[in-house]
Amino acid sequence: MPTIDCIKNDFAEAIINHCEEKSCKLKLVDLDNYVILKGEKVCEKKCITCKICDCLLFIVDTDVLIGLVELKSKNPNASEIEEQLTNGLEIASSILEKCCIEHEYVNFDFYLIVLAKSWPHAIELRKIKNTKVGFKGKKYDIIPKKCGLSFTELISRLK
C-alpha cells in the first residue's frame, strides 16, 4: 500500500483539510500527494496523552517531506513549542516506520515549523531560532515565521 494511502487508512479520524487554527494558517499551494493529520487526534488514536504540534503534514513525491507545524495566535513560548515539535517528530517517525515500505524512499526531510500571528517578545523568538531538536542522531532547526506562508515557499527559502 502506498505511503499516503497507509497513513490515510490508519489515521482516517485524524485527517484534516487545512493546517489552520484561530486565523493562523499554513498555505498548501502547489502540493499534490499529501495528507494532513491533526496532532491531538493522532495522540488520541495512539491512546497517549502528550503535547503535540497542531499539524503533521506528509508529502510524498520522489522523497518524503514531513512538515511538523505549530500554529500560534497568542504569545509563543519556546520551551512549550520545543516539546510539541519533539513529540510530533517522534510520532511522525513512528507513522513513517509503519507506512513506508523499507527502502521505498531514500530521503525523509523533516521541517519543524512554528507560525505565529506576531512575535511580540524578541527573547522568545531568539530562543526558538537557537533551539535544535535532536532526533535519531540528527539536529533539526525550528523555523519560526508569520502566519500565512505557504509550505512550498517556506522550504524553497531554506534550500
Q: Where are the chain's structural domains?
A: 3-158
How does residue 104 score in pLDDT terms, banded at 50, 70 and 90? low
- Residue 67's Cα: distance from chain center in Å? 3
Q: Which pLDDT value is given to residue 63?
A: 80
Counting residues of the chain whose pLDDT is more than 70, the rounded percentage is: 94
Q: Which pLDDT value is given to residue 121?
A: 76
How does residue 47 score in pLDDT terms, banded at 50, 70 and 90? low
Q: How far is CA 92 from CA 43, 56, 76, 126, in A?
A: 11, 7, 22, 26
Residue 61 C-alpha cell reads as 513525491
Phi, psi of 148 (to 5 degrees): 100, -5
Q: Rounded mean pLDDT of 13-24?
A: 92
The mean predicted confidence, pLDDT, of the chain is 87
Q: Look up the pTM and report it.
A: 0.91
Q: Rounded mean pLDDT of 52-63?
A: 90
